[in-house]
Chains A and B, each alone.
Chain A
């Protein structure tokens, strides 16, 4: 008897607590059974008003991001870069359109269900105006249809999957920023066929869409008469050791290896090869183009590794833009400046730029129109000269040029990334 009563009481207590800020007593004026039969609410799925997220003093932006779990640590600097830049704009430039930028971030634990909840919360509780830099392929795939149906600008998606910008008509509100992994694979494949003709190629990729896209691109880029892929190995981001994959690569006789991996995985690949006394030419994806790679693997091991990037390097402290970035991160950020925080600032700058162009017509459609018009071969100050961002109604790919980057050692024995070669246009691939 008591058991069930107390059970109910406990259940209610739990649920009452669950309603957080919006607390209310047992008596609800509208809580009559009659009201239950004829709910007064609008039946259409909560369509957000055109100006939601814009108040007289604030512009509210939001993101779902992996703040906890294994992926949280790896890309947290990107988020910190975006956040710090917004704080800087609020503090030193008086915000945008006379309003302060508020950036709400919800943890999705890198899970699709987490992203669905995060977006529901951002739309309903925080009334965000636009989604900025939602991270993760699987997580974002679970929410982008919803964002497009509701007409929420979904800018600068933090994933290089091919699908985001593949069909702007079906998803007019989603805009990618990171270069396509498939195209990156193609570029590296072409480069290998031009410069390492006749050598056997090995592939080491993350066992997900990232690795698959890169492998497909690599196959597309390689000239089958000059190079063949002798081994395709995959790994999980959670793997403790990749030794068996590396042994397979070594035994296959590969002389050039392309790694579609994230920094911890790529570092394991390079270190494990060294332990086996095997030193092929390594290529790694642009997601690794950060000085942190030299902490994961020593500069001596990294020397000669090739990747791609389009931004100024975080260690170019002589460059005024980078010097300013270091100051912003010191003053407003939680993390030290690096190439990932620079990427974060790029996203922040593009957002602010687009919002400034929208001041007269601060609506969601207005923001999308601005994104489509102002980024016409746009040269930002974060990208190296020649890296242009070009967006229009039927082109939702963000950064589409990159330059090759090779790891070296400076006179102090520290690792550095050096640009070489010409700017490569992803659009032409």
Chain B
């Protein structure tokens, strides 16, 4: 078979991604101080935690994006998994790999238990009921302090987190934690992908689009809705175990309700009913968490309040101009590209690439975050000048959708309905 150039590009892309994730990010801090590509322990820990959020987002997207059930209570599942792992490791001396299954099982059982009453609820009512779960979880954890160590939390430290054998000689604990989290994220992504593409996933989507139609086709609606909850909780439970493994400490305050709401915004921003969207959403969510890293705000009240204001503004912008989240924007861009001439296509793809090169060049010359910002502005300027017509159309339609939602004729942006599908089609026809 002859290697076509797109296939070659794809292989190269994956190779670079793998190289980046497996070597560049975790190991480059072993390089001497002066070298510019150092990532370091701090970024490694951040990347590990991003992997945990990827796990949560994948699970939540299966439930909300694919099955149409809203959950604001996912911190409860993460906490259940995390506590199961922490108790078994700290109090019973289990190794980390052995606690993954119990963490998933206990959390999944809780998901089943919640999924059954959830059958009677939908939309905002379900959101409220699950939010109650997130609110109750810390109280329950504090109540049974014989098991959970109450408000003290559980500190998990010791041999369990070091890598086995010869690998232990090559990596530090933080790097090992990162590899474990990355491994779990990759494996669970593949599992999620499999679930979604299989019979179960098709049933989820059918139920989301129309329960009546799904039932008439022979799908056992209550059963699949409960299964969706359980699967989602299993993902969250494994995320909890990975969290304990990285942070080494868990307390009732580790997961507050705000975090639960953030999980939901994560998948909306990333893209509902999209695996790529879950991943992109979780990574960008982690970055927004650390937004002050990238902004030269100095110190004082300004630096403390501005990131949150920016976060809010960013959410509005993203939801307005990217009604289907980041994954949807990529899909739209891809569709738009398909109708361009090859020369235009080269410019559209070259724009961001040039921008990245410019960002690197400027940051090397001027140093610091200023260079990054300038480079990004250049990238955005080149790219957006090409995308502008499509962008304006998207934005105006996004606005129209909000108006429509207020009038009650359409769902809010981000929720894919059959009407949207016809929208997409007419876009393509145009």
Partner-B contacts on A (CB < 8 A):
1-26, 28, 30-31, 33, 35-36, 39-46, 67-69, 72, 76, 83, 105, 107, 110-113, 116-117, 120-121, 123-125, 137-138, 141-142, 145-146, 163, 207-209, 212, 334
Minimal Cβ-Cβ distance residue in B for A117? B45
Inside 8 A of B36's CB, which chain A residues have their CB?
22-24
- Name the one of B17, B258, B305 contacting A8, with C-beta atoms under 8 angstroms: B17
Q: Using known A-B contacts A12-B17, A20-B294, determine if residue A1 contacts B304 with beta carbons closer than 8 Å.
A: no
Are B367 and A21 closer than 8 Å at their CB atoms?
yes
Inside 8 A of B249's CB, which chain A residues have their CB?
112, 116, 138, 141-142
Minimal Cβ-Cβ distance residue in A for B357? A25
Q: Which 9 interchain pairs have the tightest Cβ spacing?
A: A41-B30, A24-B37, A142-B249, A138-B251, A209-B151, A36-B23, A67-B304, A8-B13, A121-B42
Are B308 and A112 closer than 8 Å at their CB atoms?
no
- Name the one of B25, B41, B155 contacting A141, with C-beta atoms under 8 angstroms: B155
Inside 8 A of B338's CB, which chain A residues have their CB?
2
CB distance from B284 to the nearest CB of A (A): 7
Question: In the complex, A11 Cα to B31 Cα: how many Å?
Answer: 24
Q: Using known A-B contacts A13-B352, A112-B153, A212-B151, determine if residue A36 contacts B39 with beta carbons closer than 8 Å.
A: no
**How many residues on chain B are close to A (CB under 8 Å)?**
97
B247 at the A interface (CB under 8 A):
yes
Are B13 and A22 closer than 8 Å at their CB atoms?
no
> 12 additional contacts, CB 8 Å, given A7-B276, A8-B14, A125-B42?
A2-B338, A3-B334, A15-B20, A18-B46, A31-B19, A31-B23, A36-B23, A41-B30, A111-B254, A123-B41, A138-B253, A212-B151
Q: Using known A-B contacts A17-B376, A23-B359, determine if residue A113 contacts B9 with beta carbons closer than 8 Å.
A: no
Question: In the complex, A25 Cα to B43 Cα: how many Å?
Answer: 18
Inside 8 A of B359's CB, which chain A residues have their CB?
16, 23
Are A207 and B142 closer than 8 Å at their CB atoms?
yes
Inside 8 A of A40's CB, which chain B residues have their CB?
30-31
Which residue of A18, A120, A145 has the most chain B CB atoms within 10 A of its CB atom?
A: A18
Minimal Cβ-Cβ distance residue in B for A111? B254
Are A117 and B294 closer than 8 Å at their CB atoms?
no
Inside 8 A of A18's CB, which chain B residues have their CB?
43, 46-47, 283, 287
Q: Using known A-B contacts A10-B330, A36-B22, A41-B29, determine if residue A46 contacts B41 with beta carbons closer than 8 Å.
A: yes
Q: Using known A-B contacts A41-B29, A112-B254, A207-B139, determine if residue A14 contacts B287 with beta carbons closer than 8 Å.
A: yes
Minimal Cβ-Cβ distance residue in B for A161? B152
Q: Using known A-B contacts A11-B283, A39-B27, determine if residue A208 contacts B142 with beta carbons closer than 8 Å.
A: yes
Inside 8 A of B429's CB, which chain A residues have their CB?
none
Question: In the complex, A163 Cα to B149 Cα: how many Å?
Answer: 14
Are A10 and B326 closer than 8 Å at their CB atoms?
yes
Of the A-B pairs whose beta carbons lie under 8 Å apart in the complex, a sample of 20, sorted by A's number, is A3-B331, A5-B9, A7-B276, A15-B25, A18-B283, A19-B37, A24-B35, A31-B19, A36-B22, A39-B27, A41-B30, A43-B172, A46-B172, A107-B292, A112-B253, A117-B45, A117-B46, A117-B290, A120-B41, A123-B41
Inside 8 A of B376's CB, which chain A residues have their CB?
17
Inside 8 A of A107's CB, which chain B residues have their CB?
292, 304
CB distance from A20 to the nearest CB of B (A): 6
CB distance from A336 to the nearest CB of B (A): 13
Inside 8 A of B293's CB, which chain A residues have their CB?
20
Are A72 and B304 closer than 8 Å at their CB atoms?
yes
CB distance from B197 to the nearest CB of A (A): 15
Inside 8 A of A163's CB, which chain B residues have their CB?
152
Are A42 and B17 closer than 8 Å at their CB atoms?
no
Question: In the complex, A163 Cα to B150 Cα: how many Å?
Answer: 14
Are A116 and B247 closer than 8 Å at their CB atoms?
yes
B49 at the A interface (CB under 8 A):
yes
Are B330 and A6 closer than 8 Å at their CB atoms?
yes
- Contacting residues of chain B (216-238) with chain A, CB-CB under 8 angstroms: none
Are B253 and A111 closer than 8 Å at their CB atoms?
yes
